[in-house]
């Protein structure tokens, strides 16, 4: 019995992120090696022309085919990488090419599923493929995605998100997690585990695992906000109310709320809870502390409060989180 071809098309364009391009073929080729029967996967790199494409790392890549040629064929999976530019202040911004956006829109119509890698979500959004969907991208460009495409429900926390036939992945190395998830969908968890072992990566970081922590958020625009964030982390186990923070910053509670909304896009209470969840996550991953002790040292006071915060922010209980991510 012949194997049905699963054509996987990776979109190529100048200044594309190198790992976004190299990661998917590696995962699918390893699966071919690990399974006793052929998978049918065939990965091709498609670009506007057959000319070499220079990646962001300066590596030149040769396309296998053109967008025009591949547009005549049925596609199993369309993989859309991303590209960024960095300004003189070291600020990162996702960039899209209108011609590539047009081709992605056209190719997506022939694909069983579409997956973006890192800031490739910005290309999907520009093509209208994320409207009304929940999506993620690299944390550094999430606010840009939400601002430029308000019809997209942007969630910067998970390492990947599936919304029906469209998958979006977070920053760079999360391409492996996303591709392993696609493998698991097609051939099961056991097959994905075999590939993960060859890649020497954890299988599999569930989509609910956070891609970054509150301490890694972009630097705020004022020293006052920096001081408030540091004050919160230094006093995470103590009393941290809006009134306390306002007093520390020598502002009114109303002004404090405006500062948090303008500079971090959230409320003081939500930020404090996120910081406490972050510290609790770290202790769940790296210690054998009881939930009671973790709740106390992270400012939650009770395990019920800790559990509610985890369910609200991560959609998982502290015990479930420890079982998944405990480092031994």
Of 178, 179, 157, the closest CA to residue 169 belongs to 178
Last residue of a domain, one of 169, 199, 229: 199
Number of domains in the chain: 2
The CA distance from 4 to 9, in Å, is: 16
Q: Are residues 39 and 185 in the same domain?
A: yes
Residue 1: predicted pLDDT: 45
Say if residue 80 is in the same domain as residue 119. yes
| Residue ending a domain, choose from 199, 233, 262 | 199
Which spans in the chain are helix H? 18-34, 67-70, 98-108, 120-126, 142-148, 174-187, 189-199, 223-234, 242-249, 253-264, 268-286, 291-297, 303-314, 318-325
For residue 57, tell me if it sits in a domain.
yes
Residues tagged active-site: 118
Residue 210 lies in a domain: no
Among candidate residues 218, 214, 219, 220, the one with its CA nearest the CA of residue 233: 214
For residues 183 and 59, membership in a common domain is answered with yes
Co-location of 267 and 132 in the same domain: no
> How would you classify the pairing of strands 84-86 and 92-94?
antiparallel
- What pLDDT sits at residue 221? 54
Rounded CA gap, 125 and 132, in Å? 10
Q: Is residue 208 part of a domain?
A: no
Same domain, 263 and 118: no
Q: Is 45 part of any domain? A: yes
Q: Among 135, 167, 199, give the residue marking a domain's end.
A: 199
Q: 132 in a domain, yes or no?
A: yes
What is the per-residue DSSP string for 140-182? Answer: GGHHHHHHH-TTSEE--SBSEEEETTEEEE-STTHHHHHHHHH
Does residue 204 form part of some domain?
no
pLDDT value of residue 200: 65
Range of the domain at 220: 215-325
- Supply the CATH number for residue 178's domain: 3.40.50.880
N residues, the chain: 328
CATH classification at residue 257:
1.10.10.60
pLDDT confidence of residue 201: 62
Q: Are residues 189 and 281 in the same domain?
A: no
User: Does 193 share its domain with 251?
Assistant: no
Does residue 270 lie in a domain region? yes
- pLDDT, position 83: 93
The reply to whether 173 and 46 lie within a common domain is yes
Same domain, yes or no: 161 and 221: no
Q: What is the pLDDT along the chain (328 residues), one digit of tens a residue?
A: 457 889 999 999 999 999 899 999 999 999 999 998 999 999 999 999 999 999 999 999 999 999 999 999 999 999 999 999 987 777 789 999 999 999 999 999 999 999 999 999 999 999 999 999 999 998 888 889 999 999 999 987 778 899 999 999 987 677 888 998 899 899 988 888 888 878 866 544 444 455 444 544 544 457 788 888 889 988 999 989 999 999 999 999 999 999 988 888 789 998 999 889 988 988 888 889 999 999 999 999 999 999 999 988 877 899 988 887 675 5
Q: Are residues 172 and 229 in the same domain?
A: no
């Amino acid at each position: 019995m012949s194997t049905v071809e699963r054509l996987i098309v990776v979109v190529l364009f100048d200044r594309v992120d190198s790992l976004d391009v190299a990661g998917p073929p590696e995962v699918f080729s390893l699966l071919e090696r690990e399974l006793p029967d052929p998978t049918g996967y065939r990965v091709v790199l498609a670009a506007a022309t057959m000319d070499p494409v220079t990646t962001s790392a300066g590596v030149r890549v040769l396309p296998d085919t053109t967008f025009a040629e591949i547009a005549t064929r049925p596609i199993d999976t369309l993989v859309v990488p991303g590209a960024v530019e960095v300004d003189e202040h070291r600020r990162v911004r996702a960039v899209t090419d209108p011609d590539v956006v047009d081709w992605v829109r056209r190719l997506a119509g022939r694909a069983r599923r579409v997956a973006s890698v890192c800031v490739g979500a910005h290309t999907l959004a520009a093509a209208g493929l994320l409207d009304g969907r929940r999506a993620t991208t690299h944390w550094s460009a999430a606010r840009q995605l939400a601002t430029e495409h308000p019809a997209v429900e942007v969630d910067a926390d998970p390492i990947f998100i599936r919304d029906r036939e469209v998958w979006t992945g977070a920053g760079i190395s999360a391409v492996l997690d996303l591709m392993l998830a696609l493998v698991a969908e097609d051939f099961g968890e056991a097959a994905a585990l075999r590939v993960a072992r060859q890649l020497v990566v954890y299988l599999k970081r569930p989509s609910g695992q956070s891609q970054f922590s509150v301490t890694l958020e972009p630097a705020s625009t004022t020293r006052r906000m920096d001081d408030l964030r540091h004050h919160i982390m230094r006093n995470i186990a103590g009393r941290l109310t809006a009134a306390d923070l306002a007093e520390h910053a020598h502002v009114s509670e109303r002004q404090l709320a405006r500062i948090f909304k303008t500079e971090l896009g959230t409320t003081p209470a939500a930020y404090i809870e996120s910081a406490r969840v972050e510290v609790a996550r770290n202790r769940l991953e790296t210690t054998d502390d009881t939930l009671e002790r973790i709740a106390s040292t992270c400012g939650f006071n009770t395990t019920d409060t800790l559990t509610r915060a985890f369910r609200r922010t991560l959609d998982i209980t502290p015990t479930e989180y420890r079982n998944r991510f405990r480092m031994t």
